[in-house]
Amino acid sequence: MTTTLAAAWWTRVAARPDRVALSYAGRRWTVAELDADATALAAGLAQRDVRAGDRVVLHLQNVPAFPLALLALWRLGAVGVLANPMYRDRELRHLLTDSGAVGVITSARDIEALQPAGADTAVGWWLGVADDDPTLAEVVAAHAGAVVPEAAVGAGDLALLTYTSGTTGPPKGAMNTHANVLATVERFGAWIELTEDDVVYAAAPLFHITGAVASGALALVGGASLALSGRFDPAEAVATIEAEGATFTIASITAFHAIEQVPGAGREQLASLRAVYTGGAPVPQASIDRFRDRFGVALHNVYGMTETTSAVVAVPLGVDAPVDPTSGAVAIGRPLPGVGIEVRTEDGAPAVPGEPGELVLTGDQVVPGYWGNLDASARTMPSGRLHTGDVAVVDADGWVYLVDRLKDQINVSGYKVWPREVEDVLYEHPAVHEAAVVGRPDEYRGEVVVAHVVLAAGRSATPEELIAHTRSRLAAYKAPREVHLVAELPKTATGKIRRDDLRG
C-alpha cells in the first residue's frame, strides 16, 4: 500500500510516463517531463540544504512552479507551507516565524519587498519565480539529470503545513500528513469517479487546502491531468476549461457566480465538465438552479476544512441534493467513506436526526493537530475528534445540512436567526448577485438583521423591495431591518465572504 505522496507519484511515473500531467498557457508536460523537472528542482533545493522535515513556504499563485515545488519537496521528505501570495509584512512574518521555514519560493518581483518579513527568522534563502516563465527553469536547467536519494519519511510525516484563516486568533498551522492527503485523494477521487482521462482545472488557489489537495494532489497522484491558469480570473477560467477540455473543477460559490458574469459564456464553453463541486459556504438552491440553467452543469455541494485535509462530506456525483423542509438549506452531502460524523447539542449530548448541533468529525483525514500549539490542538480535536464550530443537522437518511457557523448566529429579541437562511431567500430575487447577512447590536432587540447586497449586472432593486421580498418568505424577525446595496463584498483569497468585515 502506498504510504507517501512521493511513492504514489513514482507509481504513476512507472505506469504511464507518457500521459499529460500538467498544462499552463498552452504548454503541456508529460508525467516523465514533470518528474524530471521535479527531480532537478529537488536537487537544487537539496543544494540549499533542504532536508527531510524542513518547511519551505510556497508564496505563489496557480503557476507550474507550485506543483513542481510540491513534488520536489515531497521527494526530499520536506514540507510545503502554503501561504497566500497576497501576504505581506506581519501576515507573512507570522507564517515564517511560526513554521520555522528555511526558505521561500515566491514571485521574483516580490522578493525585495518581502525579505524584511524574514528578518530574524530561520529563512536562509529566497527563490524567485519569473512572471514570464513561472517554471523555475533556471534552477531546473542547472540540475538537470541529478540523482536525488529517496528520503526516509512515512505516512505520519508532514506533507503540508496549512494555516487557518485566523478568525479565532492568530492563524494556526494544520499539520496535513502524507496519510491525510492520500486519504482525501483516494476517497474523493473515487467519489467523483476520477480516471487518468480526466482533466482537473484548478479554479481554487493552490495555496488553500481545497486547491492543494482537492485539485493539485488529486490530479498529480490521482492520475489525472492538472490544468492551471494563474490567479483566478473568470474569463480565463472559462477559456482554460474549454481549451483543455477540463472535466472536473472545484471552487467557492463566488467563483461560479463570477463565471456567470462572463459575457458570451454558455453551455458550449463548459461542455467538457462532467463533475463540478463547490464549497466554503452553504449554497442556496437558487444559485444551483441558475448555474444549471445557464451552463447545463450541475453544482454539487462539498464540505471540508483545513483540519480535514479538504473534502469529507459531499453530494454524490449525479445526485440532486435534498432541501431541508424546515430551514430551506440544501444538503452539503453525505460523509465520504471512512469519515465519522456526530452532531452534538449544546450540552454535549448526541443530537437526534433533524436536531441541530455542532458537527464533530473523525477519521484519517483529520489532522493530528496544530503545529507547535498543543493547547489549541487539545481544544479543537481532543482524542482525534474535530469540533468544527459549524452547526449542522443530519436527517434520518444520513444527509448532512449545514446551518451556519456558531459565531455567526444572530439573536433578535431572544430568537435565533441564521444568516444563511436569510441569504438563501435574498438569492431567490432575480436582481441579487451576492448577499451577506450579519447582526448589528441594537439596544432594544439585542441584535437586528442587516443585509449587504451586490446587484446582478443590468438589474435593479431598492432596499425596500428586497426587504419586502424577504418579509414575504420569512418570519418577520428574520427579515433584514436594513439592506445596503454595495459594489462588492469583502472576501478571503479563496472567495469566502468575510462577514466579520461587515459587522463593523
Residue 347 forms beta bridges with which residues? Answer: none
Is 166 exposed, middle or buried (CB count within 10 Å of its CB: 0-12, 13-18, 19+)?
exposed
Q: Using an 8 Å Cβ cutoff, are 435 and 452 in contact? A: yes
> All 3 cell numbers of residue 453?
447586497
Domains in the chain (CATH in brackets) are 5-392 (3.40.50.12780), 409-503 (3.30.300.30)
Return the CA Rg of the chain.
23
b (16+ CB within 10 A) / e for 131-143: eeebbbeebbeeb
Map grid coordinates 519551505 to a residue.
56
Q: At what angle do helices 5-15 and 65-76 cross, to 10 degrees?
A: 110
Three-class SS string for 264-303?
A: CCCCCCCCCCCEEEEECCCCCHHHHHHHHHHHCCCEEEEE
Query: Phi and psi at residue 59, in whole multiples of 5°?
Result: -115, 70
In whole angstroms, give the CA distance from residue 160 to residue 5: 11
Q: Where are the alpha helices (DSSP H) in 28-149?
A: 31-47, 65-76, 89-99, 111-114, 137-142
Which of 246, 210, 249, 286 lies closest to 493 in space, CA to CA? 210
Give the pairing type, strands 446-455 and 432-442. Answer: antiparallel
Residue 59 forms beta bridges with which residues? Answer: 106
Name residues whose C-beta falls within 8 Å of residue 50's C-beta, 6 or more positions apart in sequence: 56, 73, 76, 78, 102, 103
Provide the pLDDT for residue 483.
95
> All 3 cell numbers of residue 104?
521561500
Provide the pLDDT for residue 443.
67
On the CB side of 41, CA atoms within 13 Å amount to 26
Q: Using an 8 Å Cβ cutoff, are 253 and 281 in contact? A: yes
> All 3 cell numbers of residue 364?
484519517
In whole angstroms, give the CA distance from residue 501 to residue 504: 6
> All 3 cell numbers of residue 298?
450541475
**pTM (2 d.p.):** 0.86
Q: Using alpha carbons, list the distances in angstroms from residue 347 to 303, 351, 353.
A: 25, 10, 16
In whole angstroms, give the CA distance from residue 380 to residue 307: 10
Residue 55 forms beta bridges with which residues? Answer: 79
Provide the pLDDT for residue 256.
93
Say which amino acid occupies 306: T
Give the three-state DSSP class for 333: strand
| H/E run at residue 125 | strand 125-129
> All 3 cell numbers of residue 219?
490530479
Averages of pLDDT over each 10 residues, the chain, 504 residues: 90 97 97 98 97 98 98 98 90 94 97 95 97 94 93 96 73 96 98 98 95 98 98 97 98 89 95 93 84 96 95 96 84 96 91 92 97 95 93 93 76 75 90 92 79 93 94 86 94 78 80
| H/E run at residue 426 | helix 419-427
Q: How many other C-beta atoms can be found within 10 angstroms of the C-beta atom of residue 147?
A: 7
Provide the pLDDT for residue 501.
86
Q: Using an 8 Å Cβ cutoff, are 454 and 486 in contact? A: yes
> All 3 cell numbers of residue 139?
534552477
Which of 496, 213, 191 lies closest to 333 in space, CA to CA? 191
Map grid coordinates 526530499 to a residue.
76
Q: Where are the alpha helices (DSSP H) in 122-204?
A: 137-142, 178-191
Provide the pLDDT for residue 414.
63
Map grid coordinates 508536460 to a residue.
29
